[in-house]
């Protein structure tokens, strides 16, 4: 790579990296605010909250990358053009392709990294995320009791605990259970904690009492130092982890197992997601080409390029929205998946056509320059 190519590339890499980090941080902040339910309602630790938030990052990065490329390219190219560095490149004999090729190579590299993230990193991260959310949802300690509130984790069961200490012990615990035969049982204990006995979850109560009113109206009362309350009925669930389209690898999306009812019914949705994984990295190349067209696709202006930039920004937004629309429409008609590829490719072609539309004919330029040089002595003699 020549020195001037490395210089132009360096001017683009820094802004692209900074814009990606900034936009990802903003998107991650909005995602983290939505995930506060894990701490507030599910009583999970900050570590679980941080893990779940970070597992969203591959998808968030893929969403913001084209925008970061577009914004950073506009900033860097606008500075280079207003400081006439690009003008100097043209004046030095560089072709338009020589000037834009470092930016296009950078966009192609980013597109390749985004494709690898779409095909491998995002599914792996989302599968781990789904597993983590499944464990949170089936966490008995979180669903059984909420500090200072009466909860109803199962039909006929009411649980109350005054507080939950740092060790996970339930303090001043109250449990009221109504059985199908009509009998009522009330448990109260100073402390309790969830454990496992013979592979089943249990609640071990300490220093409490048990009051049972049978269906015949007979009251039985006893005190205990330790009592084991079976939580097995609460843990018995046929629920399994279900992987959504965003959690699946490419071969699972494009070639679903049609023997399974859910995959057969959602075959078009899976295909639309698979083609979106392949097509979305192309927007990095398209947006870079559109940024180049906004700056280089017209004549030099000392007043800036605000109107051209605004026009290209609007066209970029329209192109991305059209891609989302094609993805949604492809969930009903598989042929519309072609539109997911056609949209960024068409945007790239139109942007490059705008850049090379005003290409200078260097042969004519050289001929005119020689004519002016030859005519100069004659003009001086005449003067």
Asked if residues 291 and 80 have their Cβ atoms less than 8 Å apart, the reply is: no
Q: State the burial class of residue 103 (Cβ atoms within 10 Å of its Cβ: 0-12, 13-18, 19+).
A: buried
Per-residue pLDDT at 234 exceeds 70: no
Give residue-wise pLDDT tens across range 243-278. Answer: 889 999 999 999 999 898 999 999 999 999 999 999
Taking Cα atoms as reference points, which of 242, 297, 272, 276 lies closest to residue 131? Answer: 242
Secondary structure element (H or E) that encloses residue 257, with its range:
none
**Which pLDDT tens digit goes with each residue over 15-41?**
999 999 999 998 888 777 766 666 555
pLDDT digits (tens, 9 = 90+) for 302-333: 666 788 899 999 999 999 999 999 999 999 99
Ranges 88-102, 172-186, 279-293, 367-381: which has the least confidence: 367-381
Helices (H), the chain: 3-34, 37-40, 46-55, 57-82, 85-91, 96-116, 122-137, 140-144, 232-235, 250-254, 261-265, 267-279, 282-296, 306-330, 338-356, 362-382
The domains of the chain are located at: 3-137+243-371, 144-235
The reported pLDDT for the residue numbered 152 is: 82
Which letter does DSSP use for residue 228 in this model? E
The model's pTM: 0.76
What was the pLDDT predicted at 37?
A: 63
């Amino acid at each position: 790579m020549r020195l001037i190519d490395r210089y132009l590339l360096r001017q683009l890499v820094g802004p692209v990296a900074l814009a990606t980090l900034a936009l990802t941080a903003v998107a991650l902040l909005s995602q983290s605010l939505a995930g506060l339910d894990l701490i507030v309602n599910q009583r999970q630790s900050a570590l679980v909250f941080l893990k779940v938030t970070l597992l969203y990052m591959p998808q968030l990065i893929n969403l913001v990358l084209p925008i970061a490329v577009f914004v950073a390219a506009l900033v860097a190219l606008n500075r280079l053009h207003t400081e006439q560095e690009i003008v100097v490149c043209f004046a030095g004999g560089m072709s338009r392709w020589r000037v834009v090729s470092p930016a296009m190579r950078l966009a192609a590299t980013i597109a390749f990294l985004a494709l690898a993230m779409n095909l491998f990193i995002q599914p792996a991260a989302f599968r781990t995320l789904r597993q983590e959310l499944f464990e949170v949802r089936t966490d008995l300690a979180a669903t059984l009791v909420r500090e200072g509130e009466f909860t109803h984790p199962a039909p006929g069961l009411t649980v109350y605990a005054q507080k939950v200490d740092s060790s996970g012990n339930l303090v001043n615990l109250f449990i009221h259970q109504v059985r199908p035969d009509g009998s009522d049982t009330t448990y109260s204990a100073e402390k309790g904690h969830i454990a496992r006995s013979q592979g089943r979850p249990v609640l071990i109560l300490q220093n409490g009492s048990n009051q049972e009113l049978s269906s015949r109206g007979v009251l039985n009362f006893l005190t205990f130092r330790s009592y084991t309350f079976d939580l097995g009925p609460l843990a018995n669930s046929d629920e399994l982890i279900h992987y959504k389209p965003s959690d699946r690898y490419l071969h699972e999306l494009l070639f679903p197992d049609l023997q399974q009812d859910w995959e057969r019914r959602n075959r078009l949705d899976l295909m639309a997601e698979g083609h979106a994984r392949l097509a979305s990295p192309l927007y990095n190349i398209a947006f870079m080409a559109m940024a180049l067209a906004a700056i280089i696709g017209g004549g030099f202006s000392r007043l800036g390029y605000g109107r051209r930039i605004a026009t290209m920004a609007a066209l970029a937004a329209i192109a991305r929205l059209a891609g989302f629309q094609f993805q949604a429409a492809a969930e009903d008609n598989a042929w519309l998946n072609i539109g997911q590829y056609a949209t960024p490719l068409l945007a790239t072609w139109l942007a490059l056509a705008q850049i090379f539309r005003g290409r200078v004919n260097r042969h004519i330029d050289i001929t005119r320059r020689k004519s002016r040089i030859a005519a100069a002595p004659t003009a001086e003699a005449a003067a």
